[in-house]
Amino acid sequence: MPIGTNINQPVLLGVENTPLIANHEQREHFGEHMTIDGYGGSQAKLDHSSHILQGLSLLVDRLGMKPLAEPVIYYAKGNDKKDPGGWTGILAIEESHISIHTFPAIGFVTADVYTCRNGMAQREIVDFFREHFSLKEIEVNFLRRGMHFMALAMSRSSLDAQKQKVAANAQP
């Protein structure tokens, strides 16, 4: 059930598949960043390093992104605070990165999917995480990044064009 409709407010997605926040506003932006927090996941899947690595590779393939290297994974032991320990898997992609952090003892996963592409396949990403880790509930946050990037890029492009014009006129 949605707890907010603002683009930067989290939306909870249970098994009823509540619709995601619309992300295809007309305004240009640099990229899109989706965070996924999954609850009630399979402890076995969340604690299996090769399953996490496989998930990174499968998701990148499904989204048509290009890996820069093989995914890497690290184990972090827990502490006496809120962190019960778990795995961190990271995959650098040409478009940016995907990271997955699992906490098997409590059935929790938190992930980031960040891309400089616009029009992120939110539903496909949520469905992937739900299936891959057998999640019962998912919280999604979606951010548009670089809202002023296009203006900056256009002013840079305009400045470069002016410099080229001046240089061309200065030649005999």
d(CA 9, CA 5): 6
| Catalytic-labelled residue, pool 42, 51, 57, 116 | 116
Q: What percent of the chain has pLDDT over 90?
A: 56
| Catalytic-labelled residue, pool 96, 97, 99, 158 | 96
Q: Write out 74-92 in H/E/C secondary structure.
A: EEEECCCCCCCEEEEEEEE
Active site residue 97: no
Give the per-residue pLDDT at 143: 86
Angle at 29 between CA 26 and CA 31, to 5 degrees: 125
pLDDT-derived band at 43, boundaries 50, 70, 90: very high
Active site residue 101: yes
Residue 72 has pLDDT above 90, yes or no: yes
Q: Which amino acid is at 83?
A: D
Give the per-residue pLDDT at 24: 47
- Write the CB contacts of 105 (distance below 8 Å, at least 6 apart in sequence): 43, 78, 84, 85, 86
Active site residue 24: no
All domains of the chain in start order, with CATH: 11-170 (3.60.90.10)
Residue 113 has pLDDT above 70, yes or no: yes
* 83-92 pLDDT, tens digit each: 899 999 999 9
d(CA 71, CA 168): 47
If we measure between CA atoms, which residue out of 91, 133, 99, 114 comes closest to residue 34? 114
* 4-18 pLDDT, tens digit each: 333 444 555 554 444
